[in-house]
Amino acid sequence: MRATFNRFPRALTAVSGLLAALALVLSVQGCSTTASATTTVTGPNQAKALKVFNSFVTAERVAVANHDALLAQSLVSSAQYSMVSALWSTGQTVTAPTYGKPTLYVPKLTTYPQWFMVSVPESRNGKALGTALMVFDKPDATAEWAQDNSVMLSPGAPPLHVAVKDGYATALRTTDTSLQFRPDEVGAIHATVVDDGPASAAAKVVAAGPLTTGLYQSFSALATQVGAAGNYYSFELEGTSYPFFALATTDGGAIVMYTMSMNTSTTPKHPSSKQAIAVPDDFKPLVAQVTAGKYPFTRLMDADYTQQYLAIDPPPVKDGKPGQLQVVGTASVPTYLYGD
């Protein structure tokens, strides 16, 4: 039986030769900074981007106030659509955030897709949550502007230092080789540390922290706990086909926003129809979507999160001293559940 919201295709498997081959893992992702059309168009400026953001904020409040899931879903696209749909379709309480004064990072793009980033303080129910970083995009001339990505910066995250000249930020291609890591390599490098932990070769070039080695430690501890309950447990952070976005920073590096899927699987060591696999609390709303088949699960449970990330990609190696990739922001929503 199945409760699912846009199940993602499995990414290519792990590769050998870390820095030489990691680009292959996520090269199937969409390229948001490469034109999909050759016709020259006029992209947004600061004023236009602010109008798009303000319209989104107003419509989001209306959707929440009227419990209008269709309106809420119409405001988002790509991975953000999957995440928003999961929250609304499972009957969870959705509240409208309150935003502070936004800072806009608008690339000067003359072809589609058009997109820009927004950094803005966010609070809910009067409680400050931190700084949100969002991407809004318009993939072609017929599309409406929509929110494509949204993450919360981690507490203590370093300043982003996005390079802005004459009011415009600089968008980077996913294959840009002027950085220490091409933007389309960032997700794969991140994933190797989460999957393999501090022993991974990539741990030398990825900064330790809650969203890298910390995730490995958390899920490894969960695997131990699930094992003690008589089950096998596995986890894997994988790439998706959703687009990603990169902006240049003042030091010659970049910030990169991308989407991953954290895939987990639980199977009993000794299957029995009398012993159910425990469903994690954050996936229980998805169980309610299962309308056919057998429940509770006794033979298998796959439970996956859609996760968006923001990473700081360091500038090229200087004096033989490479910088480290820093993962500094995330959003995570349970979006897929399958069991038997």
Kindly report, residue by residue over 93-142, the tens digit of the pLDDT: 889 999 999 999 999 999 999 999 999 999 988 899 999 999 999 999 99
Instruction: Calculate mean pLDDT across residues 242-270.
Output: 96
**Burial category of 96 from C-beta neighbours within 10 Å (exposed 0-12, middle 13-18, buried 19 and up):** middle
Q: How far apart are CA 137 and CA 31, in angstroms?
A: 12
Q: Is the pLDDT of residue 10 over 80?
A: no
| Max CA pair span of the chain | 67
| Mean of pLDDT over the chain | 87
- Residue whose tokens read 């129910």: 125
Whether 267 contacts 312, CB under 8 Å = no
Q: How far apart are CA 260 and CA 239, in angstroms?
A: 5
- Quote the pLDDT of residue 113: 93
- The number of helix segments (H) and strand segments (E) in the chain equals 8, 13
String of b and e for 38-70 (b: at least 16 CB within 10 Å)?
eeeeebbeeebbbebbeebbeebeebbeeeeee
Tokens at residue 279, please?
């469903």
Domain boundaries, the chain: 2-339
Residue 288's pLDDT band (boundaries 50, 70, 90)? confident
Provide the 10 A C-beta neighbour count for residue 229. Answer: 13
Q: What is the pTM of this model?
A: 0.87
- Write the pLDDT tens digit of every residue in 292-334: 556 789 999 999 999 999 999 999 877 777 789 999 999 999 9
